[in-house]
Structure formats: C-alpha cells, structure tokens
Amino acid sequence: GENVEQHPSTLSVQEGDSAVIKCTYSDSASNYFPWYKQELGKGPQLIIDIRSNVGEKKDQRIAVTLNKTAKHFSLHITETQPEDSAVYFCACSGGYQKVTFGTGTKLQVIP
C-alpha cells in the first residue's frame, strides 16, 4: 500500500517568516495530493490540493509543489501568522477513494 512520510514533525517559525513542510510517497500511481490543516479539537480542513498533471499551485500565502519523478511534494506558507498555528497533514491518493495521510507537522508561529 501507499506509504507517506512527512517532515518535520514539529516546526517553529517567527511570525512573518516562511514555513515549508515536505512529504514523500511510494506509490507512483498516486495522482491527487491534498494538504489538510487541523486545529485543536477540530476535524481536518483542506487548505490546498494539487493533481499530478500540475507541478505547482498557489493560493494567496499558500503554495504546493509536486515532483512526480522524485515522488515528493511540499507545502509552502509565506508571511506566517499566529492563526497558521495548527497540525498540517499531507495526503495522497490514486484512482480510488482511499486517501493516505502523512504523519503530520505541528506548526507553531511565534508572535
């Protein structure tokens, strides 16, 4: 089955700095790569996703890059704000409904 590794497990940045979270996956058939943000006591919420026919996608302060050859994808958050503090999960999926999550990154933005 799919194996998704996510790094780092924790990340502290100063407000206004950038944060980068990286994931690698094993199944070359995976073609959908979402990123979820989970705040304490809440369910995960999609913040951005990318499909395998695209190398990069940006939405305001958030961007995702995908390298299918190397089987890795990354989340970039620029100009971080305290409300960005949360746990972030990468995930990937092939042509089915099953989504495999990474192990999560706890991001702390220090005011």
The reply on whether position 110 binds another protein by CB under 8 A is no
Out of 25, 63, 66, 104, which residue is the one contacting another protein (CB under 8 A)? 104
Tokens of 15: 């407000």
Among 19, 34, 66, 80, binds another protein (CB under 8 A): 34
d(CA 37, CA 89): 6
CA pair distance 54, 52, nearest whole angstrom: 5
Instruction: Identify whether the C-beta of residue 72 lies closer than 8 Å to the C-beta of residue 20.
Output: no
Q: Is 44 in the site for another protein (CB under 8 A)?
A: yes
Pairing of strands 105-110, 10-14: parallel
State yes or no: residue 43 binds another protein (CB under 8 A).
yes
27 is a site residue for another protein (CB under 8 A) = no
Candidate residues 12, 28, 45, 67; the one interacting with another protein per rule CB under 8 A: 45
Contacts (Cβ under 8 Å, ≥6 apart) of 57: 48, 49, 50, 63, 64
Question: Which member of 7, 13, 49, 76 binds another protein (CB under 8 A)?
Answer: 49
**To the nearest whole angstrom, how small is the minimum distance from the Cβ of residue 16 to another protein?**
27
Interacting residues with another protein (CB under 8 A): 31-32, 34, 36, 41-46, 49, 89, 93-104
